[in-house]
Structure 1
Amino acid sequence: MRLPVRLRGLRVRGLRAPDPSARGLRHRLRHDDRGVSILEFVGFLPILLVVGMAAIQLGLIGYGINQAGTGARAAARVASQDGDGNGAGQAAVSGWLNPVVSAAEGPDLTTASVSVTVPSVIPLFDDVSVTREATMPTDD
């Protein structure tokens, strides 16, 4: 005997049809992954921040080394020609690096030294001091 269309699946040999909403709820509770990715991101975020700040710190140190070398060359070049080497070294370096320039003219060679202080981006570390020297022949 055929059941009408609206009754098919509701009772077959005394069994009830499964409730689709209850099955969906059970399935969602057992396999719910919502929120897991945000927890993973929040857990990994401090590591990403430290790595990013370390990369910025290394870039600043490289910039400080470059500025100190440029200032030392400028100071030695100007001092070797009887000029103000200290002023030239100060002018060649970015002011926020707090350059300390010393240029000494000798009879044959002029040596200049520039020290800069690179500020720390990572709070637990100290500032980094970088020193570069340059030597030029003294003009007669």
Structure 2
Amino acid sequence: MALEYLGFLPLLLLVALLAIQLGIAAYAANQAGTAARAGARTAANYDAHGDPETAARSAVSGWVEGNGFSYSQSGFEDITATVAVKVPSLVPGIGPWTATRSATMPRE
């Protein structure tokens, strides 16, 4: 009976790691959306202090930014900021993924 549980344990650990990986991917996507909104908001505001990319970088957690962060911006009347962050992988052999989010703000 105990040997059956030991045989099933690696499968349970793999399922747990995959669930944690899914949570990390969702968190990275959320951080990318937050950074895109911060960058677009800063770029669209005439009275904004600072660089839109710096605002986007400061809107995310340090481990998300340090793992891989890219910012791009387009538009004139409507500013579209796009942020891509690399999702770290816990499960060997899976990934790497990139979470990309965009936000558009009208210029004031």
TM over 0.5: yes
Unpaired segments of 5 or more residues in structure 2?
none
**Does 1:94 find its partner at 2:61?**
yes
Residues 89-129 of structure 1, C-alpha deviations (whole Å, 9 max, x = no match): 000012222321123451x1111000000111100212110
Task: Verify the 8 A CA contact 1:57 1:122 in the aligned structure 2.
Answer: yes
Partner of 1:133, secondary structure, is strand
Is residue 2:75 matched to residue 1:111? no
Give the drift of 1:42: 0.6
Larger Rg: 1
Name the counterpart of 2:15: 51
- Quick check: 1:101–1:113 contact (8 Å CA) kept in 2? yes
| Number of aligned residue pairs | 102
Give me the CA root mean square deviation: 1.2
Identity percentage over the alignment? 47
Unmatched 5+ stretches in structure 1: 1-35
The ranges of structure 1 where at least 4 consecutive aligned residues each deviate by more than 4 angstroms after the TM superposition are none
- Higher relative contact order structure (alpha carbons within 8 Å, sequence separation ≥ 6): 2
Partner of 2:97: 128
CA offsets per residue over residues 47-106 of structure 1, 9 Å max, x none?
A: 001100000000001001100000000000001014411110000012222321123451
The letter for the 2-side match of 1:128 is: W
Q: State the TM-score, normalizing by the size of structure 2.
A: 0.88
Counterpart in 1 of 2:34?
70
